[in-house]
Amino acid sequence: MALIVQKYGGTSVGSIEKIQNVAKKVIEEHKKGNRMVVVLSAMSGETNKLIELAHQMTADPDTRELDVLMATGEQVSIALFSMAVKSMGYDACSLLGFQVGIRTDQIYGKARIQDIRTERVFQELEKNRIVSIAGFQGLDEEGNITTLGRGGSDTTAVAMAAALKADVCEIYTDVTGVFTTDPNICPRARKMDYISYEEMLEMASLGAKVLEIRSVEFAKKFNVPIHVRSTFSNERGTMVVSETKDMEKITVSGIAFNKNEARITISKVPDKPGIAAAIFNPLVKAGIVVDMIVQNTSEEGLTDLTFTVAKADFYKSMKFLSDVAKGIGAEKVLGDENIAKVSIIGVGMRTHAGVAQKMFTTLAKENINIMMISTSEIKISCVIEEKYTELAVRVLHEAFGLENGTQI
């Protein structure tokens, strides 16, 4: 008899019929003797509807009250789910963040879970009930409602699994697992049986949005095995687990890409201390996140500074920086929105040489110019022209033999 935490996203509970299907799936597991805890998101579309309502009220809604508003979406889902289970003849109980005791910090809209109580959940499980829990929400120490940000239900599920010491945390979504890359642009992409937390973090942060990144951090920290799988099939999905020795045999596990960044170059910057700070401070203050940064070799006391920001922040950044450039005596600010970042990821890189060389050669063979490079222990990212994204992903997928990968 296992204790299983399952999480179903908005598309999985997007209608009365879909909620009934989820109830049936959960009851199947319950009938096998498993204790079931189910974390649900708001029905698809509901969260956006609530945000729209708030924005009809005011352009800049109060963040505390926005969380009060947003938290209703998941409340509706768990109530309907429990009704469904009960109407099918099984006992059920829905619990909100405050009823479980999901304690967070006070950063409305992006709160972090600090502590979870388990008494009430175990009480309900002991009564042989199927317990459903509202994802995405918690309570700060003053008793205010907080929400965890987009994708927060994944974090709720993993944190619940950690607190309850569940045997597994199953994340149900609309894909069958984590793929070596996006099957829509690379038909030979292969579903992985296993992936390490570290690799998953790189995949998630680079645009393969299967799991919310904070939920993976949580799972890594508390060593919670995650099973990513489809609501709409019984196929085995992908296990996200701690790194094992076997995983290192595979050099590259997956290929991620991100078309949502833009590149900015400030040219002929006087190369003296404090210049980088002068450039980036105004961006940080405006809440603009800078991703890759490359500074070219200095020439005659002048240097070029290149970095990437989210496309959504591009125009705002260009506006800030044209003032900054004047202030520090730089020549000009150049921007390019037509770029993409392609990354190869794998824990095996740590122990295998020549991986970067192989990536650069593969791209060069296709005449794809590399504009920027950044590397980490288990990842190499290249910025290229956006139009080459799909081609780059496909040739790299083939070069590293991902379609035949004998996953552990």
> Per-residue contact track with a copy of itself, 220 to 259, x per CB under 8 A?
----------------------------------------
The distance from CA 31 to its chain's CA centroid, rounded to whole angstroms, is: 32
Stretches 74-82, 196-204, 239-247, 360-368: which one binds a copy of itself (CB under 8 A)? Answer: 74-82
Quick one: 46 or 170, whose CB is closer to a copy of itself? 46
Take residue 41 and report the two structure tokens written for it. Answer: 């998101």
Q: Distance of CA 105 to CAs 8, 99, 112, 141, 143, Å? A: 25, 17, 6, 7, 11
Strand partners, 7: 39, 171
Quick one: 96 or 189, whose CB is closer to a copy of itself? 96
Among 3, 51, 65, 239, binds a copy of itself (CB under 8 A): 65
Stretches 46-54, 155-163, 189-197, 233-241: which one binds a copy of itself (CB under 8 A)? Answer: 46-54
Among 66, 325, 382, 396, binds a copy of itself (CB under 8 A): 66
Q: Does 76 bind a copy of itself (CB under 8 A)?
A: yes
First to last CA, the chain: 26
Among 31, 45, 48, 53, binds a copy of itself (CB under 8 A): 53
Q: Does 54 bind a copy of itself (CB under 8 A)?
A: yes
DSSP sequence for 333-386:
EEEE--EEEEEEE-GGGGT-SSHHHHHHHHHHHTTPPP-EEEEETTEEEEEEEG
Q: Does 122 bind a copy of itself (CB under 8 A)?
A: no
Among 33, 60, 274, 357, binds a copy of itself (CB under 8 A): 60
Q: Does 45 bind a copy of itself (CB under 8 A)?
A: no
Total Cβ atoms within 10 A of residue 70 = 23
Sheet of 145-147: strand order equals 113-116, 102-104, 137-139, 145-147
**Closest approach of a copy of itself to the CB of residue 40, in Å:** 12
**Residue type, position 171, single letter:** I
8 Å CB contact between 261 and 339: yes
Separation of alpha carbons 136 and 153, rounded Å: 4
Quick one: 48 or 338, whose CB is closer to a copy of itself? 48
**Residue type, position 353, single letter:** A
Stretches 76-84, 156-164, 279-287, 329-337: which one binds a copy of itself (CB under 8 A)? Answer: 76-84
The distance from CA 64 to its chain's CA centroid, rounded to whole angstroms, is: 24
Q: Does 381 bind a copy of itself (CB under 8 A)?
A: no
Angular region, 41: left φ>0, alpha ψ -120 to 50, beta rest: beta
8 Å CB contact between 178 and 191: yes
Stretches 5-13, 33-41, 72-80, 338-346: which one binds a copy of itself (CB under 8 A)? Answer: 72-80
Beta strands in 46-178 (DSSP E): 92-95, 102-104, 113-116, 130-134, 137-139, 145-147, 168-173
The distance from CA 258 to its chain's CA centroid, rounded to whole angstroms, is: 13
Q: Does 318 bind a copy of itself (CB under 8 A)?
A: no
> Per-residue contact track with a copy of itself, 77 to 96, x per CB under 8 A?
-xxx-xxx-xx----xxx-x
Q: Does 21 bind a copy of itself (CB under 8 A)?
A: no
**Closest approach of a copy of itself to the CB of residue 177, in Å:** 30
Q: Does 19 bind a copy of itself (CB under 8 A)?
A: yes
Among 57, 284, 312, 334, binds a copy of itself (CB under 8 A): 57
Q: Where are the alpha helices (DSSP H) in 169-260?
A: 197-205, 213-222
Quick one: 16 or 289, whose CB is closer to a copy of itself? 16
Block residue for tokens 């996200």: 240
8 Å CB contact between 76 and 42: yes
Residue from 101, 218, 120 nearest 169 by CA: 218
Separation of alpha carbons 41 and 160, rounded Å: 14
Among 3, 50, 107, 288, binds a copy of itself (CB under 8 A): 50
Binding footprint of a copy of itself, residue count (CB under 8 A): 39
Q: Does 71 bind a copy of itself (CB under 8 A)?
A: yes
Q: Does 61 bind a copy of itself (CB under 8 A)?
A: yes
What sign for the dihedral angle of Cα 24, 30, 34, 38?
A: positive
Q: Does 143 bind a copy of itself (CB under 8 A)?
A: yes
Q: Does 99 bind a copy of itself (CB under 8 A)?
A: yes
Which residues sit at the interface with a copy of itself, rule CB under 8 A?
Answer: 16, 19-20, 50, 53-54, 56-58, 60-62, 64-66, 68-69, 71-72, 75-76, 78-80, 82-84, 86-87, 92-94, 96, 98-99, 120, 143-145
